[in-house]
């Protein structure tokens, strides 16, 4: 963060500033950043000790590399891991991680380093926000999803029986270091899941960016370094602009939830067997359909989004059947609901969100049920 705190050395990366209450922080995107963490971390989040948190898939690849890079320069650090996957983003694993840190004597002069994908960033961020009533966190995303979206904006949390991300906090990182080299080990399916968030950014705020993503899809899936870096930086700039204007989601930040009201319900209804990107892709298509039926969204918008998503191999045909009643139940408990009523972000057209009702609106359950029946 700035305002008296150091700014990251951007000599080897592109920096994007995110404004938050009390200052700002930088998202740095580039190659070789993991090896430079022993310098970058003390310059931006100096701590007596670092708690490196990764899931059990990423820990052997990058968590241990970060640990070794830190300890080899005399920095005190410990590595903590948990089972991979959305199903592990729980209060039980939050408890396990915080207990382990307490056992190791971490104090308020410690800092959490979240190394991994979106689940790791959410869970480790929540650990940091609650440990001893809050210690710093640095996000080191290693997936498209985390680099493009989850590591930026300060949202942390866990999933509970009633739905996704319903227990959590806003806890801005001190910095985000996105090393594009780590994408080379990302499984093909996870590349698809993460890129959906970039397509969402284009759909809500930059139609030209969505068009570019559509044409660049093959290069993005192959993780062409230059193309991937451009997509990450462009998406981070879009999200950073929104978060700077509305850190706590009281207004315009709601636009980032396009596709997520329905998408989160679909994930929860399948016990998180459905990937986040697949669910959000379906959510974008179904919410575009809702908008068109209400006469708010320009006709043909759903078809345009479908055409773009098809370049990632995604369509409603690729979505497994979902229990309609279960999905409707999870919609009712969505964290964005007001007075027990879920709210939906609707487009006017590609690149423009409808904003007449505080950026999101209620929709009659009967219409939502009718549209969701398409995948039931």
Active site residues: 133, 155, 197, 239, 249, 253, 257, 260, 264, 276
Angle formed by the axes of helices 260-269 and 276-293, nearest 10°: 130
CB-CB contact of 118 with 143 (8 Å): yes
| CA atoms within a 13 Å half-sphere pointing along the CA-CB vector of 16 | 27
Q: Which two tokens stand for residue 172?
A: 């801005």
Please tell me the distance from the alpha carbon of residue 140 to that of residue 195, in angstroms, as a whole number.
18
Crossing angle for the helix pair 188-205 and 276-293, to the nearest 10 degrees: 30
d(CA 203, CA 52): 35
Which residues, including other chains, have CB under 8 Å from residue 313's CB and lie 6 or more apart?
192
Query: Angle at CA 187, nearest 5°, toward 183 and 190?
Result: 85
Distance CA 362, CA 6 (A): 43
Q: By the 8 A CB rule, do 92 and 22 touch? A: no
Rounded Cα distance, 80 and 66, in Å: 12
Structure token pair of residue 290: 């809702």
Concatenated DSSP letters of 285-297: HHHHHHHHHTT-S
Residue 376 exposed, middle or buried by CB count within 10 Å (0-12, 13-18, 19+): middle
């Amino acid at each position: 963060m700035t305002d008296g705190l150091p700014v990251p050395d951007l000599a080897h990366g592109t920096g994007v500033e995110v404004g938050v209450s009390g200052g700002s922080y930088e998202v740095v995107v580039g190659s070789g950043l993991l090896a430079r963490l022993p310098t970058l971390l003390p310059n931006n989040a100096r701590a007596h000790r670092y708690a490196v948190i990764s899931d059990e898939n990423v820990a052997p690849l990058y968590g241990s590399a970060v640990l070794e890079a830190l300890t080899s320069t005399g920095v005190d650090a410990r590595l903590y891991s948990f089972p991979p996957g959305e199903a592990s983003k729980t209060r039980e694993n939050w408890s396990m991680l915080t207990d382990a840190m307490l056992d190791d004597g971490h104090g308020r002069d410690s800092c959490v380093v979240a190394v991994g994908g979106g689940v790791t960033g959410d869970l480790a961020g929540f650990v940091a926000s609650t440990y001893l009533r809050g210690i710093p966190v640095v996000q080191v995303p290693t997936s498209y999803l985390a680099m493009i979206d989850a590591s930026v904006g300060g949202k942390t949390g866990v999933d509970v029986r009633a739905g996704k991300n319903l227990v959590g906090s806003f806890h801005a990182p001190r910095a985000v270091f996105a090393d594009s080299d780590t994408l080379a080990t990302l499984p093909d399916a996870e590349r698809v899941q993460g890129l959906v968030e970039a397509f969402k950014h284009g759909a809500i705020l930059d139609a030209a960016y969505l068009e570019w993503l559509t044409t660049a899809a093959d290069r993005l899936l192959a993780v062409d370094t230059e193309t991937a870096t451009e997509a990450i930086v462009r998406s981070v700039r879009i999200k950073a602009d929104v978060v700077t204007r509305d850190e706590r989601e009281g207004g315009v930040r709601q636009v980032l939830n396009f596709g997520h009201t329905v998408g989160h319900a679909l994930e929860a209804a399948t016990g998180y067997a459905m990937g986040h990107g697949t669910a959000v892709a379906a959510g974008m298509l179904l919410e575009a359909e809702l908008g068109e039926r209400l006469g708010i969204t320009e006709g043909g918008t759903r078809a345009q989004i479908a055409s773009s998503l098809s370049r990632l191999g995604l369509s409603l045909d690729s979505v497994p059947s979902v229990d309609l009643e279960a999905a409707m139940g999870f919609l009712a408990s969505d964290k964005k609901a007001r007075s027990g009523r879920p709210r939906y972000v609707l487009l006017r057209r590609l690149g423009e969100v409808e904003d007449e009702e505080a950026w999101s609106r209620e929709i009659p359950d009967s219409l939502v049920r009718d549209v969701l029946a398409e995948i039931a």
